Structure 1
Amino acid sequence: MSTSIVVEAPHPAAAVPRQRFVQCASPAGLHRTAYTEWGDPANPRVLMCVHGLTRSGRDFDKVAQALANEYRVVCPDVVGRGLSDWLADPRHYGVPQYVADMVTLIARLNVETVDWFGTSMGGLIGMALGGLPNTPIRKMLINDVGPHIEPIALTRIGEYLGKPTRFASLDEGVRHAAALAASFGNLTDEEWASINTPLLHEKGGAWRFRYDPDIAKPFKASTPEQNAAGEAYLWHALASFKTPVLVVRGEHSDLLSRETVKRMVSKGQAVTSVEVADTGHAPAFLAADQIATARAFFLGNDAGAA
């Protein structure tokens, strides 16, 4: 994959993040959803960047810095992760609740439309929201996920999700998180530290992950019938989304197969795809060429897509 796109340096003021919160509701009560905002807060052009299962919105700092001149970039911590509250009832950890929270956040932003960059779980949320009538999503980049998730990836995730972990130091936690996410690509120590440090906090004399371990409960309790119904809905949602979609796949992804990507392209109305070499699940979008692919897609030049 190559591109001649020149990434514009962000204006210094645009590169300063603002930490915000919005109050959302679940059937069990109220909770706060945290989000980091970049760029001009009055810019009506909004890019929502939504992270993977155990990650945080700070995964997108480099993307946000690169696009903050053109967009108001909003990077939420999905409920139960990062600086967001944990749900009182873990049974509600799932795409319907996440979609509802994102609708509340978009209402807070006071805009009619958004562009969407969703990695893994964030892509599932985007597809679900994009399939609703009168969806606010204008363009959508789906990073290494699709309606069908390979069983081997579900098994891999189930082996670590929700298990109690304690680290003697922040560095130990950062390195552990890097090992779990090794398939993101060949990142430097500094890059691992930049995206993994926000995942950790010190509590009770040890470093721990910020995410609620109870997010594992609905994941592990899901039945094959529920999974099949969810997949069918997402295929329908993708097929009904009328505006441009770019599916990004890591070359060695165990979660999104090439066959699923081909089906997404054929079933969708305006779906293109690109594969990122030397990565698995999921490309980190820290490298300049990966960020350039996102820039080209969102700003109207689809160079790099096939």
Structure 2
Amino acid sequence: MSHATSLAPRLHEVQCLGSRGLHRMAYAEWGDPQNPKVLVCVHGLSRQGRDFDVLAQAMAADYRVVCPDVVGRGRSDWLADPMGYVIPAYVADMVTLLARLDAQTVHWVGTSMGGLIGMGLAALPGSPIDRLVLNDVGPTIEWASLQRIGQYLGQPAHWATLDEAADALWAISSSFGPHSRAQWLALSAAQLKADGAGFKPHYDPAIAQAFRAVTPEVAAAGEAMLWASYDQIRCPTLLLRGAESDLLSAQTAAAMGQRGPRARLFSFEGVGHAPTLVQADQVAAVRAFLLEP
């Protein structure tokens, strides 16, 4: 495969079944489409698959890299029923995607929500995931972090220029850690959808409805189920953590190293929730784990 090929993803779609019919899930694919080694990278709550462009380019010589836009985000359809924006439904969509890819086994990198989807899939009997990277997420999610995210998720926004949008996105994303202006503009561009003479966020604002329906009691019940799922995972697992994360506590990370797959922990100083996997040390940590014998 040529280096030039690795720099340009192929854009595809797959039809998935939801509670009110079919919806399209878009995905970007990098590397040799015939490569039996498949790496699936899944983004966070309000993000989209092009967040992984840097990591995908770094891995495309070794993998067929697939980066979906979870339904309601990026180029994927929006759901008629906002209460369909839940993890079990996303897991079902990913099963459909893996069938389309004809992938018998996969490696998985999941940031935040993408990690929860990966946990759900990896815990299933006969799961195709045989190496798992969880990026700043675990079964226990700190309530204060959920409240912080709820302050901006789904709020109406319009920006006149890419630079204005990038500044606004940085104001709610500075916990991602230091980025150059070029890095942040690249991460911001795919987050935007044309809106008249300017831009708006490239996700369905209605994803906030299911998110805001979570109460402390619902969160506690969900935590118990997530720990039960985590304890069922048997594949080698790497846990990445921003050392200043307000979503994944140091205590939860430590517990994840002691039970279930006994995740190996790698922490990044000066970063909160969540590492973007753009910086060289972050890419190197993922690459070393995925490619080790």
Matched, 1:14 2:6: yes
Alignment of 1:257-268 (within 5 A): 257-268=249-260
Residue by residue over 1:13-66, the C-alpha shift from the partner in whole angstroms, topping out at 9 and shown as x without a partner, is 233211111111101111110100000001111000000011111110010000
What's the counterpart of residue 242 of structure 1?
Answer: 234
Taking the aligned partners of 2:291 and 2:2, their CA distance within structure 1 comes to 15
Task: Quote the sequence identity (%).
Answer: 52
CA contact (8 A) 1:242 1:270 kept: no
What's the counterpart of residue 288 of structure 2?
Answer: 296
Secondary structure (helix, strand or coil) at the match of 1:153 reads helix
Q: Displacement of 1:10 after TM fit?
A: 7.5
- Please tell me the residue identity of whatever aligns with 1:75: C
Taking the aligned partners of 1:10 and 1:162, their CA distance within structure 2 comes to 40
- Please tell me the residue identity of whatever aligns with 1:104: T
Secondary structure (helix, strand or coil) at the match of 1:266 reads coil
Taking the aligned partners of 2:62 and 2:98, their CA distance within structure 1 comes to 18
Correspondent of 1:74 among 66, 75, 98? 66
- Please tell me the residue identity of whatever aligns with 2:201: F
- Please tell me the residue identity of whatever aligns with 1:103: V
Correspondent of 1:144 among 132, 136, 142? 136
Residue by residue over 1:173-200, the C-alpha shift from the partner in whole angstroms, topping out at 9 and shown as x without a partner, is 1221122111111101110111110010
TM-score in terms of structure 1 length: 0.93
What's the counterpart of residue 114 of structure 2?
Answer: 122
Taking the aligned partners of 1:10 and 1:292, their CA distance within structure 2 comes to 21
Taking the aligned partners of 2:103 and 2:96, their CA distance within structure 1 comes to 11
What's the counterpart of residue 196 of structure 2?
Answer: 204
Matched, 1:253 2:245: yes
Q: Displacement of 1:280 after TM fit?
A: 0.5
Taking the aligned partners of 1:133 and 1:300, their CA distance within structure 2 comes to 25
TM-score in terms of structure 2 length: 0.97
Taking the aligned partners of 2:155 and 2:80, their CA distance within structure 1 comes to 19
Q: Displacement of 1:87 after TM fit?
A: 0.5
Secondary structure (helix, strand or coil) at the match of 1:55 reads coil
- Please tell me the residue identity of whatever aligns with 2:165: G
Matched, 1:274 2:266: yes
Taking the aligned partners of 1:286 and 1:102, their CA distance within structure 2 comes to 24
CA contact (8 A) 1:162 1:214 kept: yes
Correspondent of 1:31 among 6, 20, 23? 23
- Please tell me the residue identity of whatever aligns with 1:196: S
Correspondent of 1:135 among 124, 127, 144? 127
- Please tell me the residue identity of whatever aligns with 1:72: R
Secondary structure (helix, strand or coil) at the match of 2:257 reads helix
Secondary structure (helix, strand or coil) at the match of 2:132 reads strand
Correspondent of 1:158 among 126, 145, 150? 150
What's the counterpart of residue 176 of structure 2?
Answer: 184
- Please tell me the residue identity of whatever aligns with 1:278: G
Taking the aligned partners of 1:138 and 1:11, their CA distance within structure 2 comes to 27
Taking the aligned partners of 1:184 and 1:300, their CA distance within structure 2 comes to 27
CA contact (8 A) 1:56 1:199 kept: yes
CA contact (8 A) 2:110 2:116 kept: yes
CA contact (8 A) 1:10 1:65 kept: no
- Please tell me the residue identity of whatever aligns with 1:124: L
Residue by residue over 1:251-296, the C-alpha shift from the partner in whole angstroms, topping out at 9 and shown as x without a partner, is 1101100000011111123421111111110011111111110011
Aligned residues: 293
Q: Displacement of 1:238 after TM fit?
A: 1.1
What's the counterpart of residue 52 of structure 1?
Answer: 44
Distance 1:224 1:151, change over 3 A: closer
Correspondent of 1:98 among 85, 90, 101? 90
Taking the aligned partners of 1:269 and 1:94, their CA distance within structure 2 comes to 24
CA contact (8 A) 1:14 1:65 kept: yes
- Please tell me the residue identity of whatever aligns with 1:65: Q
What's the counterpart of residue 4 of structure 1?
Answer: none
CA contact (8 A) 1:10 1:67 kept: no
Gaps of 5+ in 1: 1-8, 302-306
